[in-house]
Structure 1
C-alpha cells in the first residue's frame, strides 16, 4: 500500500467511524432494538451502491475506493455491533426480534445498495 492510499483509507475510516458513533449514540429510534445500527448499515450500503456505479461511470482512479468503499463505508457500517445485538437478543430469548433484526439489516442493506445503484444509473 502506498502512502496516498493509506491516507485515503485512514481519512475515510475516521470519517465513517465518527458518523457511525454519532448516529449510534442517539437514543434508539422508535425504541426498536438495533434500529440505529440498521440505519448506519442502510446508509452505508446506499452510499456504496452509488459509489460503485460512479467509480465506473466517471472512470475514477481505483484509489478512491480506499477512501469511500473500504475506509468510509467499511467503517460506517458495522457487522460486529449487528452480531452482538443479535447474540444479546438470542440470549434474552427474543428470537422473533432477532429474526426481524437479521432480516431487516440484510434485506434492507441489499435493497439500499441496489437502490443506490439504480438511482445513480437513472440520474446519469
Structure 2
C-alpha cells in the first residue's frame, strides 16, 4: 500500500468511526430494543450502494474507493457490534429481540443497499 492510499483509507476510517461514535453514544430505543447499530448498518449500506453505482460511472480513482468503501463505510458499519449486541440479547434471555435484531439488520441493510443502487441508477439515467 502506497502512502497516499493509506492516507485516503485512514481519513475515511476516522470520519466513519467518529460518525458511528456520535450515532451510537446515546441509546435510541424502539420497542425496548436499541437500534443504534441498526441505524449505522442501514445508513452505511445505503451510502455504499450509492457509491457502488456512482464510482464506476464517474471513473473515480481507486483512492476514493479506499476512502469511502473500506475507510468510511467500513468504520461506520459494524458487524462485530451487531454480533455482540445480538449475543448480549441472547444472554439476557431476550430471544425475540435477538431474532428481531438479526432480521432487521440483515434485511434492512440489504434493502438499503439494493434501494440505493436502484435509486442511483434511476437518477443517473435521468441526468
Shared topology, TM-score over 0.5?
yes
How many positions carry a matched residue from both structures? 124
Cα deviations by residue, 1:55-93 (Å, 9 ceiling, x for unpaired): 111111122111000000000001111111100111111
> Where does structure 1 lack aligned partners over 5 or more consecutive residues?
none
RMSD of aligned alpha carbons: 1.1
- Give me the TM-score of the superposition, normalised by structure 1: 0.96
Corresponding position of 1:117: 117
> Where does structure 2 lack aligned partners over 5 or more consecutive residues?
none
Corresponding position of 2:40: 40
Cα deviations by residue, 1:25-53 (Å, 9 ceiling, x for unpaired): 12324364230100000000000000000
Whole-Å Cα distance in 1 between the matches of residues 39 and 32 of structure 2?
A: 11
Contact kept, 8 Å, 1:34 with 1:82, in 2: the verdict is: no
Matches within 5 A, 1:47-66: 47-66=47-66
Whole-Å Cα distance in 1 between the matches of residues 32 and 114 of structure 2?
A: 25
Contact kept, 8 Å, 2:27 with 2:35, in 1: the verdict is: no
Corresponding position of 2:78: 78
